[in-house]
Amino acid sequence: MPLALFALTVGAFGIGVTEFVIMGLLMEVGADLGVSISTAGLLISGYALGVVAGAPVLTVLTGRWSRKRVLLGLMVIFTVGNVLCALAPTYGTLMLARVLTALSHGTFFGVGSVVATGLVPVDRRASAIAIMFTGLTVANILGVPLGTWLGQAYGWRATFWAVALIGLVAVAVVAVYVPKDGAPAEQGDWRADLRALGRRPVLLGLLTTVLGFAGVFAVFTFIAPLLTRLSGFSASAVSPILLVFGGGLVVGNLVGGKLADRRLVPSILGTLAVLAVVLFGMTFVWEDRVLTVIAVGVFGAAAFATVPPLQMWVLEKAQGAGQSLASSLNIGAFNLGNALGAWFGGVVIDDGPGLGAITWVSALVPVSAMVVVLVALWLESREPRSGAVSSRTLHGSLQ
């Protein structure tokens, strides 16, 4: 794998830290800025909405820039946003700084995915995407715990200063190692790209991503109460167990990339099926602490094994449209899935069968994503094509 891929990984690492580290610093932020923990928690929602809104807007606005220039510009926005977070005097200004930082998220991963696939042979494109997303998974294993410790020891602002420093490193390595690309990130008219992205295959691909990750976050959002209330772990044990989850993320991400390189459609259906089985199986392990820890690691692997195939699926469906725009929108779809999953999990707990049922109910969500994939393949097989090719489209895709 070329060094340029690992330059993208550095940027992904910084973005992953700044997105998730706030979860471990809510009490410090709330106490310093005079707001409740629940109000401080809205900083997570604000960031997610910034990702969803910023992905298409920034991708369109930078569509005439070269991809390397886009990536550098996004890392500058990311760095400035974290500096503003560190300096924020009030809760409102911190929220605005978080939203500004989030604007770079979707477009970086979207354009970065396109750049990554262009750096390697065709049969290694999904693995290249997985390498870049490894930065996000490593952020959960190392960056978030270290950032949380730093914020608790030296104040939450120190964490954002440290992440801003990572941003500067990312700017430097992208500038040095990502090759120059004279072509604009989007070749055609952005209006035509938007119309093309409204095509059924692309929309179904985006819907698959939303549903695939909604099931993950319906459970992961409430992983702490699941571990403490159902398995009886102490609150201090949650962080070490989450390290196991993070290790699963790394493994699953790389395995998912390898599988998608071999056979894309079977890997999508297979990883979604495994995720559904794992979620359903977790329902029966909470009383055994050893099995619970193992299940959390397997859950992390199953969750992120879906990411490279889902990203590659949308990129393929956007052929002829704006690939950078489609890729960025799919990152927004992941975050929309996160938000919907958290909401859905809350509904199951408050208005449904309760906390103990959240895993088996959530297992139905990736199953619905599989249904969407099968419907998309069936509709594709019915599109007018030349004779025998049309009649074998669905069968060939599943092969």
The mean pLDDT of the chain is 83
Which residues, 6+ apart, have CB-to-CB distance to 85 below 8 Å? Answer: 18, 94, 97, 98, 101, 157, 160
pLDDT number for residue 194: 65
Query: Which residues make Cβ contacts (< 8 Å) with residue 338, sequence separation at least 6?
Result: 48, 213, 214, 216, 217
pLDDT tens column, 230-287: 988 887 787 788 788 888 888 898 898 888 888 888 999 999 999 999 999 999 999 9
Radius of gyration of the chain (CA): 21
Contact by Cβ (8 Å): 162, 341: no
Tell me the percentage of the chain whose pLDDT exceeds 90.
29
- CATH topology of 1-185 equal to that of 188-399? yes
CATH class of residue range 188-399:
mainly alpha
Nearest Cα to Cα of residue 384 among 393, 374, 397? 393
Say yes or no: domain 1-185 is CATH 3.40.50.1980. no
Tokens of 336: 């929309």
The answer to whether 97 and 50 are in contact (CB under 8 A) is: no
Supply the pTM of this predicted model: 0.75
Per-residue burial over 377-392, b = 16 or more CB atoms within 10 Å of its CB, e = otherwise: beebbeeeeeeeeeee
Return the higher-pLDDT residue of 9 and 126: 9
Q: Give the model confidence (pLDDT) of 308-354 as tens digits.
A: 888 888 877 776 556 667 777 887 888 888 778 878 888 888 888 88
Cβ atoms 111, 328 nearer than 8 A:
yes
Q: Give the DSSP per-residue string, 220-251.
A: HTTHHHIIIIIS---GGGHHHHHHHHHHHHHH
Query: Residue ranges of the domains in the chain?
Result: 1-185, 188-399
What separation in angstroms does the CA of 299 have from each of 19, 147, 217? Answer: 21, 24, 11
Q: Is 123 in contact with 261 (CB distance < 8 Å)?
A: yes
Rounded Cα gap, residues 370 and 225, in angstroms: 29
Mutual orientation of helices 289-305 and 200-220 as an angle, nearest 10°? Answer: 160
- Joined tokens for residue 25: 């610093």
